[in-house]
Amino acid sequence: MNLPASDSALARRMWRALEPYHAVTYFAPESRVATDELGCKGGWMSYFGLRAAPMGAVPGEVVTALFYNFHPKRVARAVPAAWQAAAPSAFLTARMRSVDIALRRLLGDLIASGDIAEAAELAREAAAAAPTAGRPLGAANAALDWPTEPHLVLWHAQTVLRESRGDGHVAALVSAGLDPCEALVAFAADNGVEAESLRERRGWSPAEWSAAAERLARRGLLDRGDRLTEKGAELRAWVERRTDRGASPSWTVLGDQRCERLIELVNPLVEAIVRGGGFMADNPMGLRPLAG
């Protein structure tokens, strides 16, 4: 797909603008309450159960493969135990209910605004154009029934968009020859992320992390100070461009003007979510809202 660089940049802007609206799915306190009621033990079982549920009761190996950068043992502690606590359909019900409650709390009077209805219409059109071929998480979410209330339509649209994009990102990492741990090491080096925290949250041991760094160094991608080389920076940039371009069909359908309108409509919603505490301080992934 040879799309203009401007299309790639737009896809990244749209992701950054909309992602916090989806992230309440896992990181608002209402989600933890809902999964605790299902019998989940801890944040990781909640996260993996809620995110994997659209695919049905898949084994941990499938979740590990599709989520890509988590250590298999981290996933294995949560799946299939999540499905033993409750059926995937129960997770889907809990997911929708908890998102509804969280967004009503966080958005207040904005829930009934014409702006959120307009944003939902635009996002749904974009989601309908999100690629699903070869993108199992995107396809699984796209196959779910659409909610009817605008604030939930907007949420579901962004869920489809971000999972389709995420599947494309995994494909780019595979094409780049970056295995799950190597991808994290390269990401940390490229973005100034505290490597130790990232390593621990994804479940990799210090020895596994060091071995991944050594493999990258042998390929000339990382120097001995764990900094990306020029070659490594080029590969990381290629992965991100490939990810953005793979997500571009949704935004090509809307066009620049309507994309800008969607950003304009969503910004106050995201601000309200962040201001209202839409992300638990102790969420398992250490998530912080993306800058706009």
Low-confidence ranges of the chain (pLDDT < 70): 1-5, 280-292
| Of 69, 46, 49, 61, the residue nearest 282 (C-alpha) | 46
Residue 289 is predicted with a pLDDT of 46
Residue 173 is predicted with a pLDDT of 98
Q: Confirm if 122 and 265 have CB atoms less than 8 A apart.
A: yes
Residue 277 is predicted with a pLDDT of 81
| Of 181, 180, 130, the residue nearest 160 (C-alpha) | 130
Mutual angle of helices 114-128 and 230-275, in 10-degree steps:
150
Residue 5 is predicted with a pLDDT of 52
Residue 2 is predicted with a pLDDT of 45
Interacting residues of 158 by C-beta distance below 8 A, sequence separation 6+: 18, 19, 21, 22, 123, 127
Length, in residues, of the chain? 292
pLDDT tens-digit readout, 228-272: 999 999 999 999 999 999 999 999 999 999 999 999 999 999 999
pLDDT, the chain, mean:
93
Q: Confirm if 221 and 232 have CB atoms less than 8 A apart.
A: yes
Q: CB count, 10 Å around CB of 235?
A: 21
* Residue 158 three-state SS: helix
Handedness of CA 22, 27, 30, 34 (dihedral sign): positive
Q: Confirm if 105 and 30 have CB atoms less than 8 A apart.
A: yes
At 237, which amino acid appears? A
